[in-house]
Amino acid sequence: MKNATLCAVVMAVVLALPAAAKGKEVSGVQFPDTVTVEGKELKLNGAGLRKKIVFNVYAAGLYLEKTSQDAQQVIQSDQVKRVRMSMLRDLEKGKIVEAIEEGFKKNAGDKLPALQQRLEKFTAAIPDLKKGDELVLTYAPGKGTTIESKTGQKMSVEGKDFSDALFSVWLGKEPVDGSLKDGMLGKD
């Protein structure tokens, strides 16, 4: 009888292992292995933690059709891609906008003037976010970049050049957070 019970427990643990190994958890936020976007299955490329000084700000996961650890390849690729950010603290719209604008300035360089009007349209759609809220940014070839937030409102910005600059905020030569970049590229 003891052997049968032990065998049942071992089998339950073994069968549960694949389910437990799926996806990635970052600071209490679960990122599934795959998501379906625009009819395509995107794979979790990596996920990481955005820290500012000693504070955990948000956890972010990068989803791609074709995974890669090469930041430039990810930025330049014309594939469906998504960044899902889950807030770990309350953030006012102004702080989020400031960080995105700073990332654009550092990474877009002389292309910034051509992107400025679209950047303003994009940042206007960002709400104040509370701990637990999510901000989802998705690029789809030929359609542009969509922002979705807790308000349920979706807003799109056209242009592959805008998407490249936006994804450079996390993956560019001067990312908002180097360890977050490594996490999103699956290098951690």
Encode the chain (188 residues) as per-residue pLDDT tens digits: 544 444 344 344 444 444 444 789 999 999 999 999 989 999 999 999 999 888 999 999 999 999 999 999 999 999 999 999 999 999 999 999 999 999 999 999 899 999 999 999 999 989 999 999 999 999 999 999 999 987 777 899 999 999 999 999 999 999 999 999 999 999 97
The CB-side HSE value for 158 (13 A sphere, CA atoms) comes to 2
Domain boundaries, the chain: 24-184
pLDDT for position 18: 42
pTM: 0.86
CA 119 to chain centre: 18
Whole-number pLDDT of residue 153: 73
Fold for 24-184, please state it: Chalcone isomerase (3.50.70)
CB burial of 131-166 (b: ≥16 within 10 Å; e: otherwise) equals eebebbbbbbeeebbbbbbeeeeebebeeeebbbbb
Structure tokens at 101: 């604008």
State the burial class of residue 46 (Cβ atoms within 10 Å of its Cβ: 0-12, 13-18, 19+).
Answer: buried
